[in-house]
Amino acid sequence: MSDAPFVKVATIDAKGHLLGRLGSVIAKQLLQGQKIVVVRCEEAVVTGSLPRNRLKYARYLDKRMQTNPIRGHIHYRSPSKMLVKVIRGMLPHKTPRGAAALDRLMVFEGIPPAYDRTKRVVVPDALAKLRLRPDRKTTNLGELASKVGWKYGAVVSVLEEKRKARSEAYFKAKQSIIAAKAKAVAANADAIKQHTEYLASVGY
């Protein structure tokens, strides 16, 4: 993704990506003008075990404005907002240029119907499988979020199971159509041989 050509909208599947590394690549692309949609934010990972990351988040929750806590800090619990905050920290978001870059970003838990048939890409530089040693512990962002107050993990899981079932049915139907077409072409190969040879001669 980091070296990919400019496209109208890039849809990134966050599953298995390291949170910080993914955020750095996205931030750079946003500043260059690329519109980005990130799906399945709950499947991103952070390094370290779950108990360790829970303690780190508990210390983060202690940070507040002493005189008027409603003014700050804002502690996001949903995985998508956690990713947005990571990316925001890598952007000059208080300038017009940085604010415009942040406006080009959309994030979702799961894969909404509007994006379930769009081509999804990964960021090789941020994949945990490629960047970490196999014995290193990682924490699923959705699991961490559920432990610190995110209430919709079960809902997203149910919706994802339904989406995967629809996707599998669509794939099987598509494969059956492809197989039927190949069978029909093979059965009528002699009848259409003349046409096939002509099309091949003109580059089709």
Residues 84-137 have pLDDT tens digits of 999 999 999 999 999 999 999 999 999 999 999 999 999 999 999 999 999 999
Q: Give the single-character DSSP code of 57.
A: H
As a whole-number percent, the residues of the chain with pLDDT over 70 amount to 98
Q: Give residue 4's pLDDT band: very low, low, confident or very high (50, 70, 90).
A: low
CB atoms within 10 A of CB 156: 21
Specify the pLDDT at position 1: 64
The full set of domain ranges for the chain reads: 10-150, 164-202
- Please, are residues 142 and 31 in contact by the beta-carbon 8 Å criterion? no
Q: What is the pLDDT of residues 10-56, one digit of tens each?
A: 999 999 999 999 999 999 999 999 999 999 999 999 999 999 999 99
pLDDT for 16 equals 97
On the 0-12 / 13-18 / 19+ scale of CB atoms within 10 A, 145 is buried
Say if residue 66 is exposed, middle or buried (CB neighbours under 10 Å; 0-12, 13-18, 19+): exposed
pLDDT > 90: what percent of the chain? 85
Q: Specify whether domain 10-150 bears CATH 1.10.645.10.
A: no
Residue whose token pair is 């919706």: 159
Per the structure block, which two tokens stand in for 144?
Answer: 């961490």
Is a pLDDT exceeding 80 seen at residue 2? no
Report CA-CA distances (Å) from 39 to 15, 36, 59, 99, 119. Answer: 8, 10, 28, 21, 11
- Residue from 46, 25, 31 nearest 124 by CA: 25
109: left (phi over 0), alpha (psi -120 to 50) or beta: beta
